[in-house]
Amino acid sequence: MVGIVIPVIGILVTLLVSGRDAPTDEDSTTSSTPTGASAAKSGEEAGETSKIMFGPGEIEVHTSAYGEDIELDASRPLVEETIKGADLNLISAGDGTAASATFFGPLAAHTLAPLPSSPSEATEAECAKSLQKNATMQVDGLVKGRRLCVQTGEGRIAYVRVVSAPSTAHMIKISVTIWDLPS
C-alpha cells in the first residue's frame, strides 16, 4: 500500500505546484510522455508562447573524451568541463575529435529530441512537439546542420543547431536559442 501512496502523493504535489487543481479524466486517457517532455507539452497545450531568453547565438564547445557540459538555464549558455545539473553534455570518443562527438542529456534522461534536416530554424512549438514524440537521451551524428531540441532542468525549451564540426577538429560551434518559461 505504501508503495502506491508515495507516487500518488508525488503526482498530486507536482500538479498543485504547476498550478493545476487535480487530474481530469482527459489526463488519464492521454498517452504518457517521455521524461522531461511534460513541461513542454503543458505549455503548448495551453497555447502559451514564451519570449526568447537567449539567442539565437553561437557558442563553441570543445570536444574531448572527458566531455564538456552546457548549462542552458542561465541568461547565457555556460560551457565548462563540469557543471552540476548541466542540461547537455558533449562527449567524444578517445580521439576527442568532432567526428566522434555525441550530445547526452543529464543522467540518461530523455530530454533531447533530434529534428529532421532543414535550413530553417525550429520554433518553440516545433521543439515542444518533438520533445513529446521523439525524446531520447543521446543525439549523435553531429555534423554541420544537425538540429535538436533540449528540455532543460528548469523546464525551458532550447533549440540547438550545429554550425560547424570539422571532423578532425576538437571543437564544435553551435547556435542556441532558449525560450523562457511561459509567464
CA dist 7 and 61 (Å) reads: 39
Give me the residues paired with residue 161 across strands: 147, 175
Burial grade of 151 (CB within 10 A; 0-12, 13-18, 19 or more): buried
Predicted structure pTM score: 0.73
Q: What is the pLDDT of residue 94?
A: 82
Sorted by sequence, the CB contacts under 8 Å of residue 168 that are 6+ apart come out as 97, 98, 99
Per residue of the chain (183 residues), give pLDDT as tens: 444 434 434 443 333 333 333 333 333 333 333 344 444 444 444 455 689 999 999 999 999 888 999 999 999 999 999 999 999 999 998 888 888 999 999 887 899 999 999 999 999 999 999 999 999 999 999 999 999 999 999 999 999 999 999 988 899 999 999 999 987
Q: What is the pLDDT of residue 32?
A: 32
